[in-house]
Amino acid sequence: MSRNSKIFISILILLGLFSLIYKFYLSKEVCPPDKCKVYETDANGNSIDATFPKEAGRLHKDFIGTPPIGLPAGIPVDPKPLKILTSYMESVEANEGSNEPFHSQVTYSYITSQDATTLFGNFEKYLKDKGYNVNLDKASVDQPIYKLFGEKISAQTNQIITINIFRQNQFENMVSVSLVVSDINKKQ
């Protein structure tokens, strides 16, 4: 057998092997359409028109591209952030059987070009001005994380706000604001 014939036969065998591998391993769908549904996603990677099982009494609403309804008035979030990462409001009705009171959570996180130290100072001032008891972890200049925790208790509700500022790089910071409001359980 000539050298060219050996090369030709070797190429045919390799092509045959590649076609078998493709047919049995690579061409199979990860999730066949009869078993699962594929949803399109928006620019932030959130699924469009996907429905998730809902817990009775729980309401979840996403606010794509805008701050969520329910953020405290005047809170110093960036009005035009570079990118909104998370924006939603969730609430749970009171459950008399388990003595669980009504509570809601508003979460908003975004990327901003505002200075981390300035952001930290603005949020700290806001919380103190609004009557929150404030605990803070004021990181040094080298530290990439700033944390604020505020709590305000009234006769009817307990409000807890958590603010984290993560320094991404010298130009961008990620800000996460989460507010939980719950009715005070009178039976305790």
Per-domain residue ranges for the chain? 1-38, 58-183
Architecture of domain 58-183: 2-Layer Sandwich (3.30)
pLDDT tens readout for residues 138-188: 665 566 788 888 998 887 878 889 999 988 888 899 999 998 888 766 554
The SS3 assignment for 108 reads: strand
Based on its alpha-carbon atoms, the radius of gyration of the chain, rounded to whole angstroms, reads 27
For residue 95, the one-letter residue type is N
Q: What is the 3-state secondary structure (H, E, C) of 41-70?
A: ECCCCCECCCCCCCCCCEEEEECCCCCCCC
Mean pLDDT of the chain: 80
Distance CA 26, CA 4 (A): 31
Dihedral angle over CA of 109, 110, 111, 114, nearest 10: -90
pLDDT tens readout for residues 18-77: 777 776 666 556 666 676 766 777 776 666 666 655 666 678 888 888 889 888 889 999
Instruction: Output the pLDDT for position 17.
Output: 79
The pLDDT of residue 120 is above 70: yes
Would you state the structure tokens that stand for residue 3, as one six-digit string?
């050298």
Instruction: Output the pLDDT for position 70.
Output: 86
